[in-house]
Structure 1
Amino acid sequence: MTKKLYVGNLSYAVTGSDLEVMFAAHGVVASANLITDHDTGRSKGFGFVEMNDAKEAEAAIAALHGKDIDGRNLVVNEARPRESRTGSFSGGGFGSGRRY
């Protein structure tokens, strides 16, 4: 069963392949995704890594959490499930269901 990890506080110079290499030293990496800005393509400073083995994922967390990479201390932990987004706005204004 794969385990998804959140990796934060990354330097903007880190690439997706850098991320994969960092974690491959601790086990088999199923995927490594760097999150980028939709408009500029620039890194947002965080990403996600999926590892095939839970023990390898725990070893990677222990080895990399707090480690200094390019002058930044990495934040590495188990990723939380994504919260659902409704896509609607609940503020006042037109279409809010309010009668004026």
Structure 2
Amino acid sequence: MGNKLYVGNLPYSVGDSDLEQAFGQFGTVTSAKVMMERETGRSKGFGFVEMGSDAEAQAAINGMNGQPLGGRGVVVNEARPMEARPPRSGGYGGGGGGGGGPTGGRDGGFRSPYGSGPRGGGRDGGGRGGS
């Protein structure tokens, strides 16, 4: 077991110092950080606490999991490494194509009413039966 803990279900009012104070009764708190939204600066409702030793971390899990902090019962368990996620499409500089339609996904699978694309038949008289 590691000494870094995940603390979830935090009310927005709880800050770093509140975490440090609450977990300090179980040993040395090396660090305590509530994760914040980048744009708004508001709490994401979870954070991480690093204890001085594995034994202190286990004591903190046993003592704090389900206990109220700022009026809500918090979830405390061993922090796990963040799983590698595939890059998200969209946003700034993001790709993200459509589905595999008749044009290979370039237009999201919708055919143009003017027949542009691999099947031909546009307004210029091309395609079937043109003279």
- TM category (shorter chain) comes to 0.7 to 0.9
Identity %: 53
Alpha-carbon deviation of 1:44?
Answer: 0.8
TM-score, normalisation: structure 2: 0.66
Counterpart CA distance in 2 for 1:12 and 1:91 is 34
Is 1:68 paired with 2:80? no
| Corresponding residue SS for 1:63 | helix
Partner deviation per Cα, 1:10-66 (whole Å, 9 max, x = no partner): 111001111111111111111111100000000011000111211111111111000
Q: CA RMSD in A?
A: 2.3
Q: Which has the higher contact order (CA 8 A, sep 6+)?
A: 1
Higher helix share: 1
Deviant stretches of 4+, over 4 Å: none
TM-score, normalisation: structure 1: 0.84
Consecutive unaligned residues in structure 2, runs of 5 or more: 90-94, 106-131
Consecutive unaligned residues in structure 1, runs of 5 or more: none
Partner residue, 2:114: none
